[in-house]
Amino acid sequence: MKWFLSSLLLSVFTGLASADLVGHGPRALYAITERFVALVDSSIDAVLIVDNKAGGAVVGHYVLHDESVNDDPDKWVNPISITSCADCHHIFITNPFMFFKIGLEKPLADMARTLDFSGFNQKAQI
């Protein structure tokens, strides 16, 4: 029942916000563990960390564009793929024209083991 209610709320809120969104939505994902995945979403131009055990709750996010271009989606990164590795201190993403490396304080797998994604934030370097 919890799953159904969470899905219903997510679909309602997504539907309400969809009029303001641009892009194609979630484009690719990287499985950190069985529980956590990182995905790139072009509608909000961000990398999201999703907890599958908590019904798809977003537990970390990294906005890919500078705040000064929030209102200009043409200047967003527009990600299409994401990858990393268990002991990597970085994430690689691509868009149709470029390749980006986001530096992390510690690997995503370590963050998942400790259930702490506080290091996955705008202080990371793109």
pTM reported for the whole predicted model = 0.75
Query: Is 79 strand, coil or helix?
Result: coil
* pLDDT confidence tier of residue 126, bands split at 50, 70 and 90: low
* Unique residue bearing structure tokens 């499985």: 31
- Which residues are CB-neighbours of 45 under 8 A, at least 6 positions away? 23, 63, 64, 65, 73, 76, 77, 78, 79
The 10s digit of each residue's pLDDT in 110-121 is: 999 999 998 887
**Cα angle at 94 between 71 and 18, to 5 degrees?**
40
Each residue of 60-111: pLDDT tens digit?
A: 999 999 889 989 999 999 999 999 999 999 999 999 899 999 999 899 999 9
pLDDT for the residue numbered 23: 58
Q: What is the rounded average pLDDT of the residues 14-25? A: 53
pLDDT band at 21; cut points 50, 70, 90? low
- Residue in the structure block whose two tokens are 């563990």: 33
Neighbours of 61 (CB within 10 A): 16
